[in-house]
Each structure stands twice: as structure tokens, then as C-alpha cells.
Amino acid sequence: MRVAAYVRELPSSSAFAQSEQVRRWATHEGHHLLATFQDVRGPGGESTHGGLRALIGLTEAGGVDAVVVATLEAFSLDVIIQEVIMEDLRRRDVQVVSVAESD
């Protein structure tokens, strides 16, 4: 399966740690990790969203079968926003996979 990772710097987990979790998961499951998209905090502490926009662009082009996150909180800390993003991806026939057991 062709997968893309999305990571976002969180108070509880760095973008690097999340990308490593997703990479290990993809390797273990035998999936092809095409790309990792990330959003990190800017110099003023604000979160960027360019990575998420680029990921959505790739899904619009039909380039991936699934989006993998270390935790659903990568999409947003707000559960409603998480649901909106996941529903948007599902409408594009893209699976959403979280490697966190708690999700």
C-alpha cells in the first residue's frame, strides 16, 4: 500500500519522534512510505499548516492509499477538527491509520 505520513510538532511528541514511529510501522507492515509531510512551530511559536495542505494536495491527485499518523492529535488537538480532516480524507478514498494504540 502507498502511504504518506503526516506529523505535527506536539507538546507531548516531536515531529521527529512521530516520523520515526510511522516509518517503523510502515516498514513492519510492509507498506511503501512515499513521503512525510510535517508542520512545525515557526519562530513566533505559531503552528504552520503547509504540510497538511501539501498532504491534502497529494490525496487530491490520487497519489496515496492511506495517510498514517503517530497519533490523531497530529491533525489537531480538537477532536472535532480531527473528525473533519479524517472525513475529508475518507471522501477521497484514502484510509487514515494511527499507530497509537489509544486511537
The per-residue pLDDT of the chain, averaged, comes to 91
Over range 20-38, report the average pLDDT.
Answer: 95
**63 pLDDT tier (thresholds 50, 70, 90):** confident
**45 pLDDT tier (thresholds 50, 70, 90):** low
Q: Residue 44 above 70 pLDDT?
A: no
Rounded distance between C-alpha atoms, residue 32 and residue 91, angstroms = 22
Q: What would the grid cell of residue 101 be? A: 494504540
pLDDT at res. 102: 79
Percent helix, percent strand, percent coil in the chain, to nearest 5 = 40, 25, 35
pTM of the model: 0.90
| Tens of pLDDT, residues 80-103 | 999 999 999 999 999 999 998 877
